[in-house]
């Protein structure tokens, strides 16, 4: 079976967006026009309700064996999303050059396809990547490129970490100082934890609301849901620097705080006041207008209680609400926004610390401190996204020793990620049904640009994507040798996409920061 300049594209009802993507991406790479039309030489796109009933909206069937009477290629999906994932498989079959921005081969090339039928569907409905743009800002075009890379790996959730102590990255029109002040820091610590090195250049940036709308629309065209994260009540020094009244000003001189220029757990947290609640309700009103996703992430992690313990205002709030302690005060804070979001048809999700002090019934949990939080949440009837740092934090080092650029955290190799299992053994079937899926997390303390993000994320994201999509054997029984063999073809796709991945042999000199040798970082977790 072959595609050439005379191959038409026959897009059935509901597949118009997929056809638009196919013409723009595969059309650019192959030079083929994919003009509208039907007939026996066509690429035909169809939504099939039968596939949805059998496999869900993301299931698909791809046939290139010529058995379809009126098409050379038939891609059918349970919904448009399934058709889109089927087209991603078609792209894989066309070879690495199908991932380029323009034709690399001779003019008039015929694109050969093997004759086969693929029937496929994802294991999980949440297959995500979290990208932190607060520690190091990533320009809009780089974010759009990340969405293309997610789509190529059939990942469908982009968790967008937009606010933290080190920067506020989203325009909020009613609170302009969040970006006027909160989006820039004076300097940046180079390294992690105990590193003594500093980059004295100011660092910052933010996305306008039109930028956000563009990112969300671009993702939607690729059947990716963008889940925004606005951190409360911890990880909030950038917001407090912009609006000091948000902090615990009765125990801290919040007017003197600047956007934080280092890493770690910050003691400066939001005050549990009505002023803070009304401020963030205004923030979330604008966020909901920009992001149509069902879920909104509120962080909720790493919130030290020391200031609340010393604050007369916080202690008075605990007494007023009849709470037992500061943990319950944080739970009250989380529950407030859970109700607020639920009243507007949305669902709250937060890191597993939101379990402390009690969790609102409709809230979901991102389990990052291992499996335990996710297991507890699922057994209690809460939906869970499994993202344990010991397995799928892609900022962690990929090999032992000091060859890795700024090596931090646990050693997690490509094989380790391939053997990750999102549903832990022993979880009851009822609890396992609450595991929405899994995501890999990319924190950018030591990733100062796109190339460093590429290096940390790839090729491990390919292993993660297969785990998130496929029904694989138990971790010990997975055929990693076969995966490595298949990766030889995938590396050529990544080359065509311009991804600066970590090569199988280890880092090349150009992937190390000039003048800053890779070395173990004091205080990092052990190599386990």
User: What is the set of active-site residues?
Assistant: 164, 235, 302
Residue 184: which residues within 8 A CB-CB, separation 6 or more? 167, 202, 203, 204, 259
**Of residues 25, 23, 59, 58, the one with CA closest to residue 147:** 25
Task: Give the pairing type, strands 9-11 and 111-112.
Answer: unpaired
- Neighbour count for residue 142 (Cβ, 10 Å): 15
3-state DSSP: the chain helix, strand, coil percent, rounded to 5?
40, 15, 45
Q: State how far the Cα of 467 lies from the Cα of 482, in Å rounded to an integer.
A: 14
Q: Which residue has the tokens 């038939």?
A: 74
SS (H, E, C) 350-398: EEHHHHCCCCCCCCEEEECCCCHHHHHHHHCCCCEEECCHHHHECCCCC
Q: What's 207's DSSP letter?
A: B
> 169 and 207 in contact (C-beta within 8 Å)?
yes
Q: Which residue has the tokens 């087209």?
A: 87
In terms of C-beta distances under 8 Å and separation of at least 24 residues, what long-range contacts does 174-180 make, across chains too? 174/282, 174/286, 175/242, 175/243, 175/279, 175/282, 175/283, 177/242, 177/243, 178/238, 178/239, 178/242, 178/243, 178/283, 179/206, 180/242
Q: State how far the Cα of 494 lies from the Cα of 141, in Å rounded to an integer.
A: 18
> 150 and 129 in contact (C-beta within 8 Å)?
yes
> 387 and 349 in contact (C-beta within 8 Å)?
no
Tokens for 353?
A: 């610390």
Whether omega for the bond prior to residue 81 falls within 30 degrees of 0, making it cis, is no
Q: State how far the Cα of 55 lies from the Cα of 49, in Å rounded to an integer.
A: 10
> 294 and 258 in contact (C-beta within 8 Å)?
no
Residue 522: which residues within 8 A CB-CB, separation 6 or more? 193, 194
Cα–Cα distances in angstroms (integers) from residue 433 to residues 65, 389, 436, in the given order: 36, 22, 7
Rg (CA), the chain: 24
**Of residues 491, 356, 352, the one with CA closest to residue 414:** 491
Residue 333: which residues within 8 A CB-CB, separation 6 or more? 232, 233, 270, 272
Q: State how far the Cα of 159 lies from the Cα of 235, in Å rounded to an integer.
A: 17
């Amino acid at each position: 079976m072959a595609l050439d300049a005379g191959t038409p594209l026959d897009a059935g009802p509901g597949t118009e967006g997929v056809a638009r993507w196919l013409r723009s991406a595969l059309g650019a790479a192959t030079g083929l026009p994919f003009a509208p039309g039907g007939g026996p030489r066509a690429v035909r796109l169809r939504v099939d309700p039968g596939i949805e009933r059998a496999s869900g909206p993301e299931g698909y069937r791809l046939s290139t064996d010529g058995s379809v009477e009126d098409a050379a290629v038939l891609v059918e999906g349970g919904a448009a999303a399934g058709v889109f994932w089927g087209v991603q498989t078609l792209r894989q079959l066309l070879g690495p050059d199908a991932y380029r921005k323009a034709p690399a081969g001779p003019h008039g090339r015929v694109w050969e396809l093997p004759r086969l039928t693929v029937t496929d569907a994802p294991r999980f409905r949440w297959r995500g990547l979290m990208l932190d743009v607060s520690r190091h800002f990533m320009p809009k075009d780089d974010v759009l490129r990340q969405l293309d890379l997610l789509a190529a790996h059939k990942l469908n959730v982009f968790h967008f970490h937009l606010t933290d102590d080190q920067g506020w990255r989203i325009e909020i029109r009613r609170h302009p100082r969040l970006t006027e002040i909160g989006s820039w820091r004076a300097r940046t610590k180079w390294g992690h934890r105990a590193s003594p090195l500093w980059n004295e250049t100011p660092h910052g940036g933010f996305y306008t609301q039109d930028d956000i709308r563009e990112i969300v629309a671009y993702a939607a065209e690729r059947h990716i849901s963008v889940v925004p994260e606005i951190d409360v009540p911890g990880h909030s020094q950038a917001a407090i620097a912009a609006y000091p009244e948000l902090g615990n000003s009765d125990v801290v001189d919040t007017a003197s705080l600047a956007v934080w220029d280092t890493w770690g757990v910050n003691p400066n947290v939001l005050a549990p006041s009505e002023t803070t609640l009304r401020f963030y309700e205004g923030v979330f009103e604008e966020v909901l207008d920009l992001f149509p996703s069902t879920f909104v992430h509120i962080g909720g992690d790493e919130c030290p209680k020391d200031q609340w313990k010393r604050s007369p205002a916080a202690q008075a709030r605990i007494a007023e609400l009849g709470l037992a302690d500061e943990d319950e005060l944080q739970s009250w804070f989380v529950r407030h926004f859970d109700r607020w979001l639920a009243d507007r048809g949305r669902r709250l999700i937060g890191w597993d610390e939101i379990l402390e002090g009690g969790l609102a019934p409709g809230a979901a949990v991102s389990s990052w401190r291992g499996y335990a939080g996710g297991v507890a949440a699922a057994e209690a009837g809460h939906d869970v996204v499994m993202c344990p740092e010991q397995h799928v934090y892609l900022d962690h080092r990929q090999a032992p020793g000091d060859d890795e650029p700024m090596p931090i955290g646990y050693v997690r190799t490509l094989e380790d990620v391939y053997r990750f299992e999102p549903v832990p053994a022993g979880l009851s079937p009822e609890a396992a049904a609450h595991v929405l899926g899994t995501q890999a997390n990319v924190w950018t303390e030591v990733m100062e640009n796109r190339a460093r993000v590429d290096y940390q994320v790839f090729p491990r994201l390919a292993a993660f994507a297969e785990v998130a999509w496929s029904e694989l054997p138990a971790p010990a029984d997975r055929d990693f040798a076969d995966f490595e063999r298949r990766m030889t073809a995938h590396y050529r796709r990544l080359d065509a996409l311009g991804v600066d991945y970590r090569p199988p042999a280890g880092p090349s000199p150009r992937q190390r920061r000039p003048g800053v040798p890779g070395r173990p970082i004091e205080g990092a977790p052990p190599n386990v």
